[in-house]
Structure 1
Amino acid sequence: MTEARIHPSAVIEPGAKIGEGCVIGPFCHVGPDVTLHDRVELKSHVVVGGETEVGSDTVIFPFAVIGEIPQDLKFRGEKTRLVIGARNRIREHVTMNTGTEGGGGETRVGNDGLFMAGCHVAHDARVGDRVILVNNCALAGHCIIEDDVIVGGLSGVHQWVRVGRGAIIGAVTMVTNDVIPYGLVQAPRGKLDGLNLVGLKRKGVARSDITALRAAFQMLAQGEGAFQDRARRLGDETQSDYVKEIVDFVLSASDRSFLTPG
């Protein structure tokens, strides 16, 4: 077992739980309700506050502020949490806030994510595994970002929006409605322009499934009836698990409408 290495200039408040092998660099501040699991590294000048849990092998770079209170005027000091998974890389000036009582009281970030410089994860967001947030993008409150999503630099995701698994958001894009799994969104006001075919191929998805996804996208774009009606018909016809995932996503409950194919 390896003891934590804590720089003499760091401030660790009484009550903080520091795991084996953690490295806490110069001028960091760790609050009393913080838990750092094994081998977490805080480079320098990192602030981790609130009731925050950081998973093992996560690295947080200088000037990140993790676990501060929500930027929500309805917040009245209630006790809420931020839970960050394992093996994340959280770069310079990233901010992640705790939850609010009205949003369930918890902000949650999955495993193996890359959060590039200056990006923001707001209160009550749910971020999945292997998510990449590129420089200076922002997730508003209550967002759901599923596994393997990439959000481009300088982009924003509106509160309550869901972004389905494997979707990609282009740079300098504002996303105001739900994005189907494996969707490709770009343009300043966020248009659903196709599928994330590059991501699907890199993941090794079978050619038959990619063909089925392309056909499904065309049906959603050009079929008769409302968007949900097209999705229901698609669900009755398809044998592809990937297409069924899109159908289930479209037909599930949401607080927003959908970005639909143009």
Structure 2
Amino acid sequence: MSDPSRLSSIHPSAIIAPNAQIGENVEIGPWCVVGANAVLEENVKLHANVIIDGHTILRQGVEVFPFVTIGMAPQDLKYGGEPASCEIGERTIIRENVTIHRGTTQGISSTKVGAHCLIMANSHIAHDCVIGDGVIIVNNVVMGGHVEIGDGARIMGSAAMHQFVRIGRGALVGGLCGVEADVIPYGCVLGNRARLVGLHWIWLKRQGVSHPEMKEMRQAYLDLYPRYLDASRASSKPGSDADADVFASRLAQVKKNYEKNSRVKEIIDFMEAKSRRGLVKVSGLRRREGEPFQD
């Protein structure tokens, strides 16, 4: 790390604490504030009016637009100023008015955003959230504490996620969704409240998943959630013992039938993992699975 006073790209109006660690080729625009425990690695760019507080690390190439705050104290009444951190992965872009709070000792003591993410304007990432690599969060998305979002997920505009919700890898959360429960990897949820309507075929195609594998994933999904489910019985965390037994039987059969398909296994492992929120319900609407690609 370099002495910030030697970096000509720091605007004279910026306030840099003496103990802040500033890397090479960092650009800090007007009226930015960088706290004493902050670390800005090489090629970080703060446009203007950005506040970096607390034990916060911005990895190389992070770009932060105006009026963003990163590493501020969490909005949690239990928080008493205990040491906690915040980390932003390399080459992530954070647009205007985003707020990202540091963790709490009641959680994992850290808030983490992965590499190569795009966090669009006015979004909020709460304390102890863990965001994977390559995630896109569109404007006005908000989340409670302890939310986990897997690599490559897409969270559309004005979606809201309950605390402790898990969003699986490659999942799609539609705009204006209120997400109260976990979304399986590669799942697509729409509506308020969010309901599972299928798999995120577009993302899978862009990742180069083969046509035969997508067909197998579609069949596994339909084995778990048969077509034309009655909305009153469409929960993937069924209410009655009989419903729970039926779903457990389906889950066991899918696990056996598709044990060689790594992506189906990932979905099953996600379903079987410990959860504070359970799984989202399946939409009761009639739908034709597989339309996004030809048989």
Which category of TM-score, normalised to the shorter sequence, fits these structures? over 0.9
Number of positions where the alignment pairs a residue of Structure 1 with one of Structure 2: 262
Residues 66/228 of structure 1: CA separation in 2 closer, same or farther (3 Å cut): farther
| Matched residue, 2:194 | 190
How far the C-alpha of 1:255 sits from its partner, in A, is: 1.1
| Matched residue, 2:176 | 172
In the TM superposition, what whole-angstrom CA distance separates every residue of 1:74-93 from its partner, at most 9, and x where no partner exists? 11110100011100000000
* 1:63-212 equivalent positions in 2, closer than 5 A: 63-212=67-216
Identical positions, percent: 41
Gaps of 5+ in 1: none
In the TM superposition, what whole-angstrom CA distance separates every residue of 1:147-167 from its partner, at most 9, and x where no partner exists? 000101001111001000000
How far the C-alpha of 1:222 sits from its partner, in A, is: 2.5
Gaps of 5+ in 2: 228-242, 284-295
| Matched residue, 1:18 | 22
SS of 2:225's partner is helix
Looking at structure 2, the residues matched to 229 and 133 of structure 1 have their Cα atoms a distance apart, in angstroms, of 36
Structure 2 counterpart of 1:134, which letter?
V
How far the C-alpha of 1:226 sits from its partner, in A, is: 4.4
Looking at structure 1, the residues matched to 266 and 73 of structure 2 have their Cα atoms a distance apart, in angstroms, of 35
Looking at structure 1, the residues matched to 246 and 73 of structure 2 have their Cα atoms a distance apart, in angstroms, of 41
SS of 1:66's partner is strand
Q: 2:262 aligns with which of 218, 241, 253?
A: 241
**Is 1:220–1:261's contact at 8 Å kept on the other side of the alignment?**
no
| Matched residue, 2:290 | none
Looking at structure 1, the residues matched to 270 and 215 of structure 2 have their Cα atoms a distance apart, in angstroms, of 19
> Could you say what the CA RMSD is over the residues aligned between the two structures, in angstroms?
1.5
Is 221-230 or 202-211 further displaced after alignment?
221-230
Structure 2 counterpart of 1:103, which letter?
G
SS of 1:107's partner is strand
How far the C-alpha of 1:260 sits from its partner, in A, is: 3.4
In the TM superposition, what whole-angstrom CA distance separates every residue of 1:178-212 from its partner, at most 9, and x where no partner exists? 00000000011101011101111111111111111
In the TM superposition, what whole-angstrom CA distance separates every residue of 1:49-104 from its partner, at most 9, and x where no partner exists? 01100110010000001110000111111010001110000000000000000002
How far the C-alpha of 1:256 sits from its partner, in A, is: 1.3
SS of 1:6's partner is coil
Looking at structure 2, the residues matched to 215 and 159 of structure 1 have their Cα atoms a distance apart, in angstroms, of 32
Looking at structure 1, the residues matched to 116 and 268 of structure 2 have their Cα atoms a distance apart, in angstroms, of 27
In the TM superposition, what whole-angstrom CA distance separates every residue of 1:101-127 from its partner, at most 9, and x where no partner exists? 000211111100000000010000010
**Is 1:227–1:260's contact at 8 Å kept on the other side of the alignment?**
no
Residues 157/249 of structure 1: CA separation in 2 closer, same or farther (3 Å cut): same
SS of 1:192's partner is strand
Looking at structure 2, the residues matched to 128 and 49 of structure 1 have their Cα atoms a distance apart, in angstroms, of 22
Q: As a proportion of its length, which structure holds more strand?
A: 1
**Is 1:98–1:106's contact at 8 Å kept on the other side of the alignment?**
yes
SS of 1:171's partner is coil
Looking at structure 2, the residues matched to 116 and 250 of structure 1 have their Cα atoms a distance apart, in angstroms, of 29
How far the C-alpha of 1:139 sits from its partner, in A, is: 1.9
How far the C-alpha of 1:175 sits from its partner, in A, is: 0.4
SS of 1:199's partner is helix
Is 80-89 or 1-10 further displaced after alignment?
1-10
Structure 2 counterpart of 1:252, which letter?
A
Looking at structure 1, the residues matched to 248 and 47 of structure 2 have their Cα atoms a distance apart, in angstroms, of 48
1:216 corresponds to 2:220: yes
How far the C-alpha of 1:227 sits from its partner, in A, is: 3.6
How far the C-alpha of 1:228 sits from its partner, in A, is: 4.2
Structure (1 or 2) with the larger CA radius of gyration: 2
SS of 2:127's partner is coil
How far the C-alpha of 1:230 sits from its partner, in A, is: 2.3
| Matched residue, 1:252 | 273
Looking at structure 1, the residues matched to 270 and 247 of structure 2 have their Cα atoms a distance apart, in angstroms, of 12
